[in-house]
Amino acid sequence: MLNERHLKTERDLIGEIWQTSEIHKNMLVLADEIGSRFAGTPSEKQAQEYMVDKLKEYGYENARAVPFKYYGWRRGPATLEMTEPVKRGFEAISLAMSPGGTMEADVINLGTGSPEEFEAVGPEDVKGKIVLCSSATSPTGKRVHRRTKYGYAVKYGAVGFIFMNHNPGQLAATGSLRPSYRMGGEIPGIGVSLETGSLIQRLAGDRPLRVKFSDESEVVPDSESANIVAELPGRSDEWIVVGGHYDGHDIAQGAMDNLSGTAVTMELARVLKPYEGKFKRGIRFICFGCEEIGVTGSTSYVADHLDQMKKTAIMVNLELGGLAYTDGMKHAAFTVYQPPEMKQWIEEFLKEVAYATSITTGMSAASDHWPFVMQGVPAIYMHEEPSMRQFVQGRGWGHTTADSMDKVDSRNLQEGAMLMARLLLRLATQRKKIAKHTPLNKIVRHLERTGMRKTLEIQLKWHPESPR
């Protein structure tokens, strides 16, 4: 429970968030005026400058861009043509980190591209062919990441990769193929819409399918991006890290994924600034770059700040795409990554503030908490409350041209920001230790036991001995 002084602080924080529209204002500038903020584009640099200037306006003289190097990527035009059994051209887009190239080969349709579907055919059936698979949930009811599907295609000797969206609307989905903090892709990859992929399959019928596609994209080594950092010092040398990524994909505004998380991070920084030096723990607000190309900004940050990980009390990741969505009120929910006892802590917090929602435990490598997790840092994730829509639609409009401001309801984000401000207030002022760090050998055993090690090896993200 908070003491009387902190209860007053809590009421002031709630009122300040609810009575202002900074979340919406910042999103309008960053989405409508600046654009996608994709790594290596002019809008990324504009966004970095805007966020630093805005945080300084909020009083953070320590606000800064912290640079890092990575394998960049430049999108080029893509073409797709069926050459057998009939000749027909189709629309397609390049997938991020595709190395580009032109090839013509037979196509093997591997359904949803799950490990089980690859293992059912074997490398001899895939070698020298172009793999076609969709973004749909696997036949066993699991959502398999695109980078896993691509990794299997490469491992099995495919020469190209076609990723078909399973949601309707003529929306070709994009997404990265390899972690850009280490490398670019090995074989060209393109995305097509559900309608295009379905038409291709109907035209082929039971006959052998052969296509030719060209991708003029290129990987750009030794590129530079930056994370945006602002610090609210506390009375001790412990820090809470809270943040989310500011980059979207270059084909859209990325308003939901994940400008929403960036805007809430900036709002939390704004409303908490008057309490500098008054909490036990400091709060480090980070807007991460390059998440969409392999969780690169946060990975680079951790790699460059290993000496600070032991003093990082907890990492709170804000991926709020679903929470921003306009389809009714999307309530905030939580996932605990480690340690398990954080679940009880959050349950007690939610009971105290009378906020009914779900809390799950799990593990995922596809967002900015991941490199902190691998350093043993306690980590939690705020997102939307799970629903059947998520299970059926997956990303929905995410990673397509439809991820734009008209999909966003900033009232939902205000609610999420208020809840997170209340949670941070308790984390920052709690006298006892928040949670223990998890030893690496325990993390590795968990990843091996759950099968995640195999997935990470396929994605070329298995390097527990170093962050990158």
**CATH number, residue 251:** 3.40.630.10
Same domain, 183 and 286: no
Q: What is the pLDDT of residue 192?
A: 98
User: What is the residue type of 212?
Assistant: K
Q: What is the pLDDT of residue 328?
A: 58
Domain presence at residue 292: yes
Boundary residue ending a domain (158, 183, 216): 216
Domain presence at residue 362: yes
Same domain, 452 and 356: yes
Question: How far, in Å, CA of 272 to CA of 317, rounded?
Answer: 17
Same domain, 308 and 454: yes
**Contact predicate 136/112, CB 8 Å:** yes
> Residue 4 CB: number of other CB atoms within 10 A?
7
Domain presence at residue 390: yes
Same domain, 338 and 439: yes
> Residue 86 CB: number of other CB atoms within 10 A?
10
If you average pLDDT over residues 409-419, what whole number do you get? Answer: 93
The tens digit of pLDDT for each residue in 129-172 reads 999 999 999 999 899 999 999 999 999 999 999 999 999 999 99
Same domain, 246 and 125: no
If you average pLDDT over residues 54-61, what whole number do you get? Answer: 98
pLDDT of residue 19 exceeding 70, the answer is yes
pLDDT of residue 392 exceeding 70, the answer is no
pLDDT of residue 388 exceeding 80, the answer is no
Range of the domain at 164: 76-216
Domain presence at residue 463: no
If you average pLDDT over residues 72-98, what whole number do you get? Answer: 98
pLDDT of residue 366 exceeding 70, the answer is yes
Burial class (CB in 10 A: 0-12, 13-18, 19+), 142: exposed
If you average pLDDT over residues 322-335, what whole number do you get? Answer: 81
Residues 6+ apart with CB under 8 A from 164: 132, 133, 134, 135, 191, 192, 193, 194, 196, 197
Domain presence at residue 467: no
Boundary residue ending a domain (216, 247, 264): 216
Query: What number of helices (H) and strands (E) belong to the chain?
Result: 15, 16
As a whole number of Å, the CA-based R_g of the chain is 22
**Contact predicate 244/380, CB 8 Å:** no
Same domain, 303 and 265: yes
The tens digit of pLDDT for each residue in 176-209 reads 999 999 999 999 999 999 999 999 999 999 999 9
This prediction has a pTM of: 0.96
Which residues lie across from 171 on neighbouring strands?
A: none
Least confident residue range of 81-85, 102-106, 393-397, 458-462: 393-397
DSSP one-letter code for 258:
I
pLDDT of residue 340 exceeding 90, the answer is yes
Same domain, 231 and 253: yes
Q: Which two tokens stand for residue 421?
A: 């401000």
218 or 388, greater pLDDT: 218
pLDDT classification of 410: cutoffs 50, 70, 90: confident
**Contact predicate 116/138, CB 8 Å:** yes
Burial class (CB in 10 A: 0-12, 13-18, 19+), 162: buried
DSSP one-letter code for 295:
S
Question: How far, in Å, CA of 338 to CA of 48, rounded?
Answer: 31
pLDDT of residue 329 exceeding 80, the answer is no
Domain presence at residue 468: no
DSSP one-letter code for 341:
T
Same domain, 258 and 212: no
The tens digit of pLDDT for each residue in 424-460 reads 999 999 999 999 999 999 999 999 999 999 999 999 9
Domain presence at residue 250: yes
Domain presence at residue 383: yes
Same domain, 205 and 233: no
Same domain, 274 and 304: yes
The tens digit of pLDDT for each residue in 24-37 reads 999 999 999 999 99
Please tell me the total count of domains within the chain: 2
pLDDT classification of 394: cutoffs 50, 70, 90: confident
Which CATH number covers residue 180?
3.50.30.30
Residue among 276, 275, 245, 277 nearest 261 (CA): 245
Q: Which two tokens stand for residue 387?
A: 């629903």
Same domain, 239 and 281: yes
Same domain, 12 and 146: no
Q: What is the mean pLDDT of the chain?
A: 96
Boundary residue ending a domain (197, 216, 235): 216
